[in-house]
Amino acid sequence: MAVGFGDTTQDRRVRVLGEPVDTYPRLAPEVERGAVRRITVVGEEILRRRCREVTQFGTPELSQLVDDMFATNQVAEGAGLAANQVDVDLQLFVWDITDEWGVRHVGHIANPVLDEVPTEQRRLVEEPEGCLSVPGPYRVVPRLDRAVVRGRDKNGKPLVIEGRGYFARCLQHETDHLHGRLYLDRLAQRERKAALREMVASKDEMFARRAALAKKLGK
């Protein structure tokens, strides 16, 4: 069972695809198997269109894509990564993130759909947010403090993933990507322009850091 929204003190086990496991390595197994791909950057057309649904499950190609996305996310020091961020037009994202309560969440999901949260249960939290496709800047973005996303794993098995806090933010951010939206779109025009200027100034340093981490991992 996935960690419940009210569970902040009990089970600290790693959640893999929403299920607690007793042991888990520091590097996800997918990272070991995967190859690092180039991360797309704001301005590229693939980041601005709705991605296609995954229709073929259980294939070597889909498994390799998941592995490669994990490896790419690892060297970029990301919390999550969507398929269009590695130039693949599919509704798929991965995550490896530790929430505010010390629980690590690891997994992937295809064709994700966020549940609607009833108005009376909506609570927006304003926290800094960044994006691997906007290398460098962070900006405060309001997001719901809880999220439930439904989809399928790479073999077609139905998934329901629940998140709170930082993990909920990740689920919403990555689902946005698959609809062609970036966190920049949630900013006022002035803030958006300032973030883009900051990105231009810092992206070379970020790219060099990623390359160094990839080399360290032998990727």
Instruction: Point out the catalytic residue in the list 30, 129, 162, 174.
Output: 174
Strands 158-164 and 14-16 come out as: unpaired
Asked about 174 being catalytic, the answer comes back as: yes
In DSSP notation, the chain reads: -PPPTT-SSS--PEEETTEEES---SS-HHHHH----PPP-TT-GGGGSPPBPP---S-HHHHHHHHHHHHHHHHTT-SEEEGGGGT--BSEEEEEEE-TTS-EEEEEEEEEEEPPPPGGG--EEEEEEEETTEEEEEEEEEEESEEEEEEE-TTS-EEEEEEEHHHHHHHHHHHHHHTT--GGGGS-HHHHHHHHHHHHHHHHHHHHHHHHHHHHTT-
- Taking the CA atoms of residue 139, residue 215, residue 70 and residue 91 in that order, the dihedral angle to the nearest 10 degrees is 70
Neighbours of 22 (CB within 10 A): 6
Q: How many residues does the chain have?
A: 219
- Positions annotated as catalytic residues are 174
